[in-house]
Amino acid sequence: MESIGIGLAGFGTVGGGVYKNLEANRALLTQRLGASFEIRRIAVRDLSKLRPVSAPASLFTSDLAELIDDPAIQVIVELMGGIEIPLAFVRKAIAAGKIVITGNKALLAEHGAELFQLARERRIPIFYEAAVAGGIPIIKTVREAFIANRFESIHGILNGTSNYILTRMTDAGLDFEAALEEAQSLGYAESDPTLDINGWDAAHKAIILASLAYGFWVQSSDIYVAGIDRLTSDDIQFAAQLGYTIKLLATIKADADNAIEVRVCPTLIPSSHVLASVKGVFNAVWLRGDVVGESLFYGRGAGQDPTASSVIADLAESAIALESPRRCYGFTSHDLYGKLKPVEAVVSQFYLRLLVDDTPGVLAKIAGILGDAGIGISSVIQPEGHDAGQLPLVLMIHDANYGRTCEAVAKIAALACVKAEPALLPVETFS
């Protein structure tokens, strides 16, 4: 029976999970694939570090080149994190004719175009199921299962840390700082949660999905990204009164002219929509194709075992690719689309929260600025019981151009009666 040699770069949470689960399910995998996997080298930065998953000391090295140079290693699994060192390593692996598996979303989002071009030139596939949504098989679904579809839209809750924080703010009434502290105490948030709460972890995943779905590589500098750190418990409560739930939502969709909108930001979604029920650290992707219609994928988006499951699925794909070379090397470009819609041109409904003086005429001034910009108001909330002299003012805005709306909100913010920076959030109706 064929034995497939693996070089594992990185032995942290996910790398340890891959090793552990390969060993635990070795007989099952061998029976299903007709081949066995053997991890022949494990590259780590610190050989002396104690690790929760143990492996024979003879497998470890601190020299990445040993994985590239070993002819008995056919598949490289990159799970190091970061960008610069993995980028150089993956380039060398492809040049050496090694199949590459990676869970590195930032690497692919920033350098995917280059790496997949190298893969095509060398006819070496790159597999990356673990890079988006942990254990949810969304990459294979978009690339293969739904290959006959034009994707009308993809919406995703792609970061478990931010979703946990928003869930606790919604269900328990916690403010942002308290919810973040709780997430850290439970191990759902890192000690430095910046990439989770500022939206960029989810944005890297959205870039990969958008690029795969629409056939051209989306640049990170061209998409709109905002985090959840400026949300307040008032925002959560006001949204609920209006029939909405706030989620950090990745929105990817094509318009009638085949321009693609890609944004990741806190978004109001109808509380009746299935994505509103995705709570805690779970991820979900809801997509609409012209052939398949609407589909939902739900599961754990991070963690040792779910992510390891996706890596091992890619190992199974690599075993097939070694026996039967393929024409697709992980990403196929096409010219059916090819342009990204600037965020300023996006049309959406909006939620606008202001803190204003509690004096007559304030609403008229604000409505006048919006009216001059051709922006309509669909509803207003003026809650009572707040600090004397000031109160929140919440406006729901009809479909409006984002760029024009931002210009109007900037003028509103400059009014003497407005006492804090406005909060402007899009509303997604999924229509």
Nearest to 310 by CA among 9, 58, 17: 17
pTM: 0.95
Helix, strand, or coil (residue 73): coil
> DSSP of 128-152, one letter per residue?
-GGGSSTTS-HHHIIIIITTTPPEE
Residue range 68-83: average pLDDT? 96
- Domain extents for the chain? 2-127+304-323, 138-302, 347-427
pLDDT in tens, 310-351: 999 999 999 999 988 777 899 988 888 878 999 999 999 999
pLDDT in tens, 6-54: 999 999 999 999 999 999 999 999 999 999 999 999 999 999 999 999 9
Contact 231, 134 (CB under 8 A): no
Q: Please report the pLDDT score of residue 84 as a whole number.
A: 97
pLDDT in tens, 156-165: 999 999 999 9
Residue range 381-393: average pLDDT? 79
Residue range 214-218: average pLDDT? 94
User: Which residues, including other chains, have CB under 8 Å from residue 293's CB and lie 6 or more apart?
Assistant: none
User: Which residues, including other chains, have CB under 8 Å from residue 430's CB and lie 6 or more apart?
Assistant: 153, 155, 269, 270, 273, 286
CATH H superfamily, domain 347-427:
ACT domain (3.30.70.260)
Task: Return phi, psi of residue 324, to 5°.
Answer: -135, 90
Number of residues that this document lists for the chain:
431
Nearest to 245 by CA among 218, 223, 217, 277: 277
Higher-confidence residue of 386 and 355: namely: 355
Alpha-carbon separation of residue 410 from 370, 371, 403, 422, 427 (angstroms): 11, 14, 11, 9, 19
Structure tokens at 313: 């699925």
Residue range 105-114: average pLDDT? 97
Q: What proportions of the chain, in percent to the nearest 5, are helix, strand and coil?
A: 40, 25, 35
pLDDT in tens, 130-153: 999 999 999 999 999 999 999 999
Contact 174, 314 (CB under 8 A): no
pLDDT in tens, 246-294: 999 999 999 988 999 999 999 999 999 999 999 999 999 999 999 999 9
pLDDT at 127 over 70: yes
Q: Please report the pLDDT score of residue 32 as a whole number.
A: 94
Tell me the CATH number for domain 2-127+304-323.
Answer: 3.40.50.720
pLDDT at 405 over 70: yes
CATH topology of 138-302 equal to that of 347-427? no
Among the four given CATH numbers 3.40.50.720, 3.10.20.30, 3.30.560.10, 3.30.360.10, the one describing domain 138-302? 3.30.360.10
CA atoms of 135 and 211, how far apart (whole Å): 20
The distance from CA 319 to its chain's CA centroid, rounded to whole angstroms, is 28
Active site annotation includes 205: yes
CA atoms of 265 and 23, how far apart (whole Å): 40
Catalytic-role residue among 205, 247, 253, 341: 205
The distance from CA 92 to its chain's CA centroid, rounded to whole angstroms, is 27
